[in-house]
Amino acid sequence: MELDQKHEVVSEVIGHNGPFGRLSDVYRSFHERREALGLSNPGTVENIAKEVQRDVFLNNLSFSGLRAELTKAFSVAPLFQVSHSLAMGSQMQPPYSYGALYGSSKVFLQGNLDNDLQFSGRFNWRWTQAFVTKTSVQLTSQGNMLSLENDYTGSDFSASLKAVNPSVLDGGITGMVMGSYLQAVTPRLSLGIDAFWTRPAMAYAPELNVSYAARYKAANWMACGQIVPDRGVLEASYWRRLSEKVETGINCNLAFAGIGPGGPMGAMQKEGSVTIGAKYDFRTSSFRAQIDNQGKVSCLLEKVIAPPIRVTFSGEIDHKQNAAKLGLAVSIEAADSEVMEQQEQAPADAGAIPF
């Protein structure tokens, strides 16, 4: 017993007075000051301009032709649903595709198969509340793609590591590797870094591009920027909420790299694009519109006819190319009465699905 007590005393003396004790005190002091700032998670570098790119702009929402989608939900907790999609007059969408989705607090599964037997799937697994592994695969006639991603969401930072088509079969590492880190410095300001490494084959030299990002978020407006010094690319975005129903955003992209028309001895080529957009939310619908410096005007109207029926209209006019696109989509979400009751009774604090 006396020997055990002596060991405990020696361990306490070393822990408080040795180098480990000093490191522990420094870490404890840093952690306390960090918590005193009251910082929150700033999001990710990939979604640093999500208020502009996802909420206001319709770059990923516009379409052409006719579309119809029928979704059937079988349960809410866990989430399980299947869908049938039909498309006409669109070069981006297949004529028919079948999809299935399953999600719980730990796992997320999604698969799509079209009429040409082209398959795309996603599998996400939540190891802890902060650590999620995401996997996606695409099997098409043009080629296959495999993506592996690990995301860690801390209390005041986010870190991500992603690899696309990684391989060591050619005698070395090939593919694409991306890593990002975004840290909240103050309750409103966040700073981040993003690195992109690519090597399509061993015959090519590897290429590394590093970008730096900053984001400032206030109560009703947001400004962010990202710069890639090696490529001479600068991108800036600004978002503002004018009222409870109106949001606006602007994005500016400038590039000062590349070889101009005069060849290697000519002047450096300069390119730029500016896009301005707005979103208005009605009681049962929403309207988005945007215009860029190339003369392209786009709009998107989403209307809920009834709780299970949604109609979407998309229009685009390209004055520079003298072209126009129109799209109309109808989406129907069906569910049994028991499933609808489960959805209404589901608690708001239920475990989030790792999408």
Per-residue pLDDT of the chain (355 residues; tens, 9 = 90+): 454 554 554 455 445 555 666 777 766 776 677 777 788 999 999 999 999 999 999 988 899 999 999 999 998 888 999 999 999 988 888 999 999 999 999 999 999 999 999 999 999 999 999 999 999 999 998 899 999 999 999 999 999 999 999 998 888 899 999 999 999 999 999 999 999 999 999 999 999 999 999 999 999 999 999 999 988 899 999 999 999 999 999 999 999 865 444 444 445 667 899 999 999 999 999 999 999 999 999 999 999 998 889 999 999 999 989 999 999 999 999 877 777 666 666 655 455 787 7
The pLDDT, as a whole number, for residue 19 is: 64
28 and 45 together in one domain: no
**Three-state SS sequence of the chain:** CHHHHHHHHHHHHHHHHCHHHHHHHHHHHHHHHHHHCCCCCCCCCCCCCHHHHHHHCCCCCCCCEEEEEEEEEEECCCEEEEEEEEEECCCCCCCEEEEEEEECCCEEEEEEEECCCCEEEEEEEECCCCEEEEEEEEECCCCEEEEEEEEEECCCEEEEEEEEEEECCCCCCEEEEEEEEEEECCCCEEEEEEEEEEECCCCCCCEEEEEEEEEEECCCEEEEEEEECCCCEEEEEEEEECCCCEEEEEEEEEECCCECCCCCCCCECCEEEEEEEEEEECCCEEEEEEEECCCEEEEEEEEEEECCEEEEEEEEEECCCCEEEEEEEEEEEEECHHHHHHHHHCCCCCCCCCC
Question: Does residue 299 lie in a domain region?
Answer: yes
How many domains are there within the chain? 2
Q: Is residue 350 part of a domain?
A: no
Q: What pTM, to 2 d.p., does this model score? A: 0.84
Do 1 and 44 share a domain, yes or no?
A: no
Q: Write down the pLDDT at residue 260.
A: 44
Identify the domain containing residue 3 by its residue range: 1-36
Q: Is 354 among the domain residues?
A: no
Identify the pLDDT of residue 340: 67
> Are 7 and 63 members of one domain?
no
Asked if 186 and 304 sit in the same domain, the reply is yes
The answer on 23 and 42 residing in a single domain is: no
pLDDT at 351: 59
Flag whether 351 is in a domain: no
User: What pLDDT shows up at residue 267?
Assistant: 56
Do 156 and 186 lie in one domain? The reply is yes
